[in-house]
Amino acid sequence: RMSKCLTKLTAELLSHRFKSLLILTISFVFLLMIYWRRGVHGECQFYSLPTQSACGQILPTASGNPPQPGDMFFVETSERMDPSYLFTCSVESAARTHPGTRVVVLMKGLASGNASLPNHWGFSLLSNLSNVEFRSLDLQELFSGTPLAKWYLQPEHKKEPYFLPVLSDACRITIMWKFGGIYLDTDFIVLRNLRNLTNSLGMQSQDVLNGAFLSFRPKHAFVERCMQDFVENYNGWIWAHQGPGLLTRVFKRWCSISNIQTHMNCRGVRALSPEAFYPIRWEDWKKLFHTISSMELHKLLRNTYAVHVWNKLSHGTRLEITSQALLAQLYSQFCPATYAKMKED
């Protein structure tokens, strides 16, 4: 009898133990699913799109496709909502040379949600290009989850003399980190497809890199170091310290070099020669308005992917659009809709 009681008691205990383990296992799986969902949604915040919450819907399109490594980004960090001829030419030329690529224009002054675009010829012109999309830029959401989040919330930075350029520098490296793809300043005219230039940036001179063009895969370690350096060595009172200066010093540390020309390709990151994106040096920006023959132009740009126009220096110069000036020829060839509007005006 004692033996039967012990056997029955043992069976009961094992049964309860099995039930307890089953309950604990189910609870653990449930908690793990909650944690995973929070993690996914927490890392994917970007634009102010209150009706969208899933990571793949952050940049919604008619097809609902998520951002891809080859997407192109333009950014307007000011409140301006009157695109210039050069702005529209930049976006148009990028869209035409990348017909299968989504070209996303992020504008701080654009209302979030489903608000219609402002009544401006530039928006009408670019909206006719099927692969161009306009999106509201929410800076606080953009920087969330990165080393730049705390920096952006410090109000004293807004008093610095170069705050808008610095803000643009911050946006581009954050976009590259979160989504990857291709970033271009709005004073480029794109001549050819850029999608084979992954994990690369351009040299503006023999030993200085420039971030007006960036192409990286998401979460790249080089871009992560750029974000860290942005905060650790921050100085918003020195022109270009957070832009070309930052990229140059990080690349040199990345490659353990003192001169970029000695190692332009190391550890999976390429520094492209000046002719790739900066065939006209900033010191020679007036050449953009000089007459040039078609043959000379072809020779100058034979190894060029896109021409940087140095808008900060050149924007006040009058361009005779029907002339043979270098810039006029680029408008006519690579952004024909913008060129037609300029002639009309």
The whole-number average pLDDT for the span 194-218 is 96
Highest mean pLDDT among 109-113, 140-144, 262-266: 140-144
Predicted TM-score of the model (pTM): 0.81
Residues with Cβ < 8 Å from 21, sequence gap 6 or more?
A: none
For residue 267, tell me if it sits in a domain.
yes
- Cα–Cα–Cα angle for 139, 140, 143, rounded to 5 degrees: 85
What per-residue confidence (pLDDT) applies to 223?
Answer: 98
For residue 289, tell me if it sits in a domain.
no
For residue 51, tell me if it sits in a domain.
no
Q: Which is nearest to 148 in space by CA: 139, 161, 136?
A: 139
Distance, CA of 298 to CA of 309 (rounded, Å): 17
Contact 180, 220 (CB under 8 A): yes
Both structure tokens of 268:
């999976």
For residue 340, tell me if it sits in a domain.
no
- Give the pLDDT confidence of 94-120 residue by residue, as tens digits: 999 999 999 999 999 998 876 789 999
For residue 306, tell me if it sits in a domain.
no
Residue 226 DSSP one-character state: H
Helices 221-232/163-178 angle, 10° precision: 150
The whole-number average pLDDT for the span 319-342 is 97
Both structure tokens of 206:
């023999």
Residues with Cβ < 8 Å from 288, sequence gap 6 or more?
A: 280, 309, 310, 314, 325, 326, 327
Distance, CA of 259 to CA of 206 (rounded, Å): 9
Residue type, 323: S
At 158 the three-state DSSP class reads helix
Residue 103 DSSP one-character state: E
Both structure tokens of 221:
């370690």
Into how many domains does the chain fold? 1
The whole-number average pLDDT for the span 15-29 is 50
For residue 245, tell me if it sits in a domain.
yes
For residue 239, tell me if it sits in a domain.
yes
**CATH number, domain containing residue 80:** 3.90.550.20
Residue 59 has pLDDT above 80, yes or no: no
Residue 183 belongs to what domain range? 72-274
CB atoms within 10 A of CB 3: 7
The whole-chain average pLDDT of the chain stands at 85
For residue 11, tell me if it sits in a domain.
no
At 93 the three-state DSSP class reads helix
The whole-number average pLDDT for the span 230-237 is 97
What per-residue confidence (pLDDT) applies to 15?
Answer: 53
